[in-house]
């Protein structure tokens, strides 16, 4: 779980670096292809006689595929347009959507502590709109410095003119 948490925390800055050069649609395609390739070993290491017998599971499978596609696409579009930190915070609203659908569609009921958590989560998401974007400072480097995007040639030429 700790490794999964660390990898999840790293995937936003890594995608922010990749999205500096690439459109979100392309990154979504590559991500979904990688996700599909990782699940392919299931065919090799399990009883695959029933895998192709989809039957009644076709609708939920298509729904899950579409939800995964649109969630990845909107994540990458958000990272590209507003940055990784803000996207990660807004991504917490996914929990609220899940809770709303659980109540409306599945008839789930929340305990008062869970409602309190939902309210706190909503407030934290709303507070993002009041946040001022700080000016980015160029760090000295470090072993994760490759995650920040490189200096543009126009920035380099303007810096050399100023000197």
The reply to whether 99 falls in a domain is yes
Residue 76: how many other CB atoms lie within 10 Å: 23
Q: How far is it, in rounded angstroms, from Cα 68 to Cα 154? A: 38
The confidence score (pLDDT) of residue 152 equals: 46
Q: Mean pLDDT, consecutive 10-residue segments, the chain of 163 residues?
A: 80 77 84 83 72 72 85 83 76 78 85 87 79 60 58 47 51
| Full domain range(s) for residue 19 | 10-43+58-83
Q: What is the pLDDT of residue 118?
A: 81
Q: Is residue 147, in this structure, part of any structural domain at all?
A: no
Is residue 148 in some structural domain?
no
The pLDDT score that the predictor gives to residue 157 is: 45
- Picking from 70, 83, 80, the residue whose alpha carbon sits closest to that of residue 31 is 70
Q: Is 27 found in the same domain as 79?
A: yes
What pLDDT, on the 0 to 100 scale, is given for residue 50? Answer: 64
Ordered DSSP codes for 1-27? -HHHHHHHHHHHHHHHHHHTTS-HHHH
| Residues 73 and 22 grouped into a single domain | yes
Same domain? For 70 and 108 the reply is: no
Domain count, the chain: 2
pLDDT of residue 135: 61
Nearest in space to 81 (alpha carbons), one of 124, 137, 24: 24
- pLDDT, residue 158, reads 47
DSSP label of 50: T
């Amino acid at each position: 779980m700790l490794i999964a948490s660390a990898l999840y925390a790293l995937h936003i800055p890594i995608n922010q670096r990749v999205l500096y050069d690439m459109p979100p649609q392309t990154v979504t395609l590559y991500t979904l292809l990688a996700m599909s390739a990782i699940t392919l070993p299931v065919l090799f290491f399990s009883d695959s006689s029933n895998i192709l017998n989809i039957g009644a599971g076709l609708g939920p499978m298509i729904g899950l595929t579409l939800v995964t596609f649109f969630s990845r696409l909107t994540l990458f579009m958000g990272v590209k347009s507003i940055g990784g930190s803000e996207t990660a915070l807004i991504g917490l609203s996914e929990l609220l959507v899940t809770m709303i659908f659980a109540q409306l569609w599945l008839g789930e009921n929340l305990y008062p502590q869970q409602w309190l958590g939902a309210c706190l989560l909503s407030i934290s998401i709303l507070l993002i709109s009041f946040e001022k974007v700080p000016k980015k400072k160029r760090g000295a480097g470090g072993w994760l410095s490759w995650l920040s995007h490189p200096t543009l040639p126009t920035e380099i030429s303007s810096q050399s003119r100023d000197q």
